[in-house]
Amino acid sequence: LGGGETSVRVERMFGLMDRFLKSDPSSLQKDILDHVEYTVARSRFSFDDFEAYQALAHSVRDRLIERWHDTQIHFKKKDPKRIYFLSLEFLMGRSLSNSVINLGIRDQYADALKELGFEFEVLAEQEGDAALGNGGLARLSACQMDSLATMDYPAWGYGLRYQYGLFRQVILDGYQHEQPDYWLNFGNPWEIERVHVTYPVKFYGTVEDENFNGGKRKVWLPGEMVEAVAYDNPIPGHGTRNTITLRLWAAKPSDQIDMESFNTGDYINAVVNRQRAETISSVLYPDDRSYQGKELRLKQQYFFVSASLQDIIRRFKDSHSNFDDFPEKVALQLNDTHPSLAIAEVMRVLVDEEHLDWNRAWGIVCKIFSFTTHTVLPEGLEKVPVDLLESLLPRHLQIIYDINFDYIEELKKKIGLDYDRLSRMSIVEDGAVKSIRMANLAIVCSHTVNGVSRVHSELLKTRVFKDFYELWPHKFDYKTNGVTQRRWIVVSNPSLSALISKWLGTEAWIRDVDLLAGLQEQAANVDLHEEWRMVRKVNKMRLAEYIEAMSGIKVSVNAMFDVQIKRIHEYKRQLLNILGIIHRYDCIKNMEKSDRTKVVPRVCIIGGKAAPGYEIAKKIIKLCNAVAEKINNDPDVGDLLKLVFIPDYNVSVAELVIPGADLSQHISTAGHEASGTGNMKFLMNGCLLLATEDGSTVEIIEEIGEDNMEFERSRLK
């Protein structure tokens, strides 16, 4: 995502801030009440918090739509190079607060609501999280969309509209149980269903040779077809009118019901096609690492790739007829290997449908793809069994074989007949299960390959993709993860946000996070310290109330809140943290009463979901709850030590926990966390980090400076 040459500011269109919608409190009030009556269909004189939230959401959406249309008109006229971000996961969280803050009208809405007898924060709590992702990779996608919009990029996000997002974590007797995420049950005011934006997606079938222009060409005869229907989500930038689109695809059957079966009373078979189709976009893949359930996963990947590319090519052809212009107008960013089939799909469309010759099509493909890899371990690299691909997408397998043949012939000219290396670098893995190495496919066809931190990039160059780096060093770069300060300070910690603006003397940091460095000039200001302590206290009180409401455990805000919230993984070492807590408990129990006055009271907070099939991770959750049961019910320890497992950790829970944390733990086994983003969120909220030198923490250390660190570098002898 290079310089600003493709980012054209979407200035105030037609000379007005908002063409038709005003934002003074009385106009907003009228808007909200109109939506109560005409959208929510409730009496404007009697409606509850949830109905008020629905009306408020539609009122805000109206303002998003104005800018959204202006943006689309603007870019249709400018016809810039568009960035298409292809990701199978977007962990968006709630939209209301983020939208009104980016629109710059949060306070106006809060004032308008107060006069109607409602509190903005109470209504914001009515919204469910859009949890269309598993963890850091998915939340990064959401933060990137916010930043692309704010930086005025003409960008699109493409993904899947899962009917059920990331499972709801319920703790029973200390164990994790997974419940469906019914995030759509009460409607979703933040999306627009585009019933006219649908594309056929094909699967299975055979490939035939057909006479064409005196030669032969391949024709794919599909065995099954489903419809992809677009659901659009406006993503507003901050301090700009640029409002980009997150287009999510839902799978619908091409034929809703088989009337013959129905009329013969075979009601199950009558709808079996609908079920087969809708399953494709029904459940978010429950794990952000291991790859089981391969066929469904592969169907999901191709479904969203095919629909997205049909949409992108249609948009290109609306104003261009020569595919030589395609690389000038289209950049496709592969978020991990999940969208890698896009490479074979573009080749298929260009060669089989647009009738470009192979080499011309290949030249185009190699200019439009960039690949972000988030994996540090070779065993985490995605492989697709050839037999599965041959069954589901026979034409794509042929294309991948052809790509690989040309690539290996070229490789032989460069490295000679080093068969071990040729075998390692091949896109096709021969072995017990012949497979397609999706990362190799992505690297061969992309013009850039980026890691997500400097440390990660070094691991890629020296271990994971060493062969490729030696061949194409120019392809490899890194873009260290980032998080948006709009969500992680302004939305989640408004009192800190106000304090920062006051002491910096500007709100410009909300668009440009580097301006936060200006606070260093006030680092010794005791007045700022006092205000900051008050902010932290308020946030800790909010968190303590939440803990008591969720677990019944009373915690003292005078204790240090020591937090570790992230997906449960062995490499993230929640177990090490729990063993440390057991040790701390043991030390307190064996301490003389007089010595206990030296103990800093501590509330240890752990939260996170374990993948449903990850048994060890689920046992760690049980251990945490068992240790908590023991410690929290020991009056001898009292407020000196508490342990809380926060259930169902999600984006909204993170927005509550992070501002209240005094200390946070990022103690992954070095070399395992590709980047990590929780460290950044805690840091920008003024929290101390207890961390290993891993992933992006290494760069945080450089940014903070070693004189601000306490090091415990116990090198192995």
Ligand X SMILES: N=C1NC(=O)[C@]2(O[C@H](CO)[C@@H](O)[C@H](O)[C@H]2O)S1
Query: Which residue lies nearer to ligand X by CB, 241 or 672?
Result: 672
Of 414, 405, 396, whose CA–CA distance to 340 is shortest?
396
Please give the full DSSP string across 386-455, using - where no structure is assigned: HHHHHHH-HHHHHHHHHHHHHHHHHHHHHH-S-HHHHHHH-SEE-SSS-EEEHHHHHHHH-SEEEESSHH
Question: Does 397 engage in binding with ligand X (CB under 6 A)?
Answer: no
| 677 annotated active-site | yes
Q: Tell me phi and psi for residue 28, to 5 degrees.
A: -65, -40
For residues 557-596, which are near ligand X according to CB under 6 A?
A: none
Contacts for 684 with CB less than 8 Å, ≥ 6 apart:
483, 485, 488, 489, 513, 516
Rounded to the nearest whole angstrom, what is the least distance from the CB of residue 559 to ligand X in the complex?
A: 29
Of the candidates 240, 245, 677, 692, the residue annotated as catalytic is: 677
Rounded to the nearest whole angstrom, what is the least distance from the CB of residue 455 to ligand X in the complex?
A: 10
Distances (CA, A) of 302 to 136, 251, 407: 23, 12, 23
Alpha carbon distance 614, 619 (integer Å)? 9
Query: Which residue lies nearer to ligand X by CB, 125 or 458?
Result: 458
Rounded to the nearest whole angstrom, what is the least distance from the CB of residue 699 to ligand X in the complex?
A: 12
Rounded to the nearest whole angstrom, what is the least distance from the CB of residue 565 to ligand X in the complex?
A: 13
Rounded to the nearest whole angstrom, what is the least distance from the CB of residue 374 to ligand X in the complex?
A: 3
For residues 93-152, which are near ligand X according to CB under 6 A?
A: 135-137, 140
Rounded to the nearest whole angstrom, what is the least distance from the CB of residue 676 to ligand X in the complex?
A: 5
Q: Are 627 and 301 in contact (CB under 8 A)?
A: no
Question: Does 481 engage in binding with ligand X (CB under 6 A)?
Answer: yes
Query: Which residue lies nearer to ligand X by CB, 74 or 567?
Result: 567
Of the candidates 383, 566, 609, 642, the residue annotated as catalytic is: 566
Query: Which residue lies nearer to ligand X by CB, 74 or 289?
Result: 289
89: left (phi over 0), alpha (psi -120 to 50) or beta: beta
Q: Are 8 and 69 in contact (CB under 8 A)?
A: no
| 78 annotated active-site | no
Contacts for 614 with CB less than 8 Å, ≥ 6 apart:
287, 290, 568, 569
Rounded to the nearest whole angstrom, what is the least distance from the CB of residue 586 to ligand X in the complex?
A: 32
Question: Does 289 engage in binding with ligand X (CB under 6 A)?
Answer: yes
For residues 201-230, which are near ligand X according to CB under 6 A?
A: none
For residues 663 to 692, the per-residue mask of contacts with ligand X, x marking binding by CB under 6 A and - elsewhere, is ----------xxxxx---------------
Rounded to the nearest whole angstrom, what is the least distance from the CB of residue 378 to ligand X in the complex?
A: 14
* Count of beta carbons in the 10 Å neighbourhood of residue 441: 25
Rounded to the nearest whole angstrom, what is the least distance from the CB of residue 691 to ligand X in the complex?
A: 13
| 583 annotated active-site | no
Of 441, 369, 370, 431, whose CA–CA distance to 401 is shortest?
441
| 609 annotated active-site | no
Task: Give the per-residue SS3 of 531-591.
Answer: HHHHHHHHHHHHHHHHHHHHHCCCCCCCCEEEEEECCCCHHHCHHHHHHHHHHHHHHHHCC
Query: Which residue lies nearer to ligand X by CB, 189 or 676?
Result: 676
For residues 43-82, which are near ligand X according to CB under 6 A?
A: none
Query: Which residue lies nearer to ligand X by CB, 291 or 503?
Result: 291
Token pair in block for residue 607: 């939260």
Q: Are 11 and 25 in contact (CB under 8 A)?
A: no
Alpha carbon distance 150, 263 (integer Å)? 54
Query: Which residue lies nearer to ligand X by CB, 289 or 461?
Result: 289
Query: Which residue lies nearer to ligand X by CB, 562 or 694?
Result: 694
Of the candidates 94, 168, 241, 572, the residue annotated as catalytic is: 572
| 374 annotated active-site | yes
Alpha carbon distance 285, 87 (integer Å)? 13
Which residue is closest to ligand X by CB?
136
- Count of alpha carbons within 13 Å of 559, Cβ hemisphere only? 21
Question: Does 92 engage in binding with ligand X (CB under 6 A)?
Answer: no
Alpha carbon distance 558, 560 (integer Å)? 7
Alpha carbon distance 66, 84 (integer Å)? 22
By CB under 6 A, the count of residues binding ligand X is 15
Alpha carbon distance 494, 559 (integer Å)? 23
Alpha carbon distance 710, 255 (integer Å)? 64
Token pair in block for residue 337: 């290997």
CA 235 to chain centre: 14
Query: Which residue lies nearer to ligand X by CB, 143 or 627?
Result: 143
- Count of alpha carbons within 13 Å of 284, Cβ hemisphere only? 34
Question: Does 374 engage in binding with ligand X (CB under 6 A)?
Answer: yes
Of the candidates 74, 289, 540, 681, the residue annotated as catalytic is: 681
Rounded to the nearest whole angstrom, what is the least distance from the CB of residue 335 to ligand X in the complex?
A: 9
| Residues composing the chain | 717
Of the candidates 35, 241, 274, 374, the residue annotated as catalytic is: 374
Query: Which residue lies nearer to ligand X by CB, 452 or 555?
Result: 452
Of 92, 75, 106, whose CA–CA distance to 190 is shortest?
92
Q: Which of 88, 171, 428, 452 binds ligand X (CB under 6 A)?
A: 452
Question: Residue 136: which H helix or E strand, with range?
Answer: helix 136-150
Of the candidates 567, 573, 602, 666, the residue annotated as catalytic is: 567
Question: Does 287 engage in binding with ligand X (CB under 6 A)?
Answer: no
Query: Which residue lies nearer to ligand X by CB, 241 or 487?
Result: 487
DSSP for residue 490: I
Alpha carbon distance 698, 459 (integer Å)? 14
For residues 412 to 451, the per-residue mask of contacts with ligand X, x marking binding by CB under 6 A and - elsewhere, is ----------------------------------------
Rounded to the nearest whole angstrom, what is the least distance from the CB of residue 571 to ligand X in the complex?
A: 9
Q: Which of 142, 488, 695, 699 binds ligand X (CB under 6 A)?
A: 695
What burial class does residue 124 get, using C-beta atoms within 10 Å of its C-beta: 0-12 exposed, 13-18 middle, 19+ buried?
buried
Question: Does 607 engage in binding with ligand X (CB under 6 A)?
Answer: no
Rounded to the nearest whole angstrom, what is the least distance from the CB of residue 450 to ligand X in the complex?
A: 10
Rounded to the nearest whole angstrom, what is the least distance from the CB of residue 246 to ligand X in the complex?
A: 18
Of 135, 142, 133, 55, whose CA–CA distance to 96 is shortest?
55
Q: Which of 288, 648, 655, 662 binds ligand X (CB under 6 A)?
A: 288
| 567 annotated active-site | yes
Alpha carbon distance 438, 426 (integer Å)? 11
Query: Which residue lies nearer to ligand X by CB, 374 or 609?
Result: 374
Query: Which residue lies nearer to ligand X by CB, 346 or 568?
Result: 568
Give the interface with ligand X as residue ranges (CB under 6 A): 135-137, 140, 288-289, 374, 452, 481, 673-677, 695
**Residue numbers annotated as active site:** 374, 566-567, 572, 677, 681
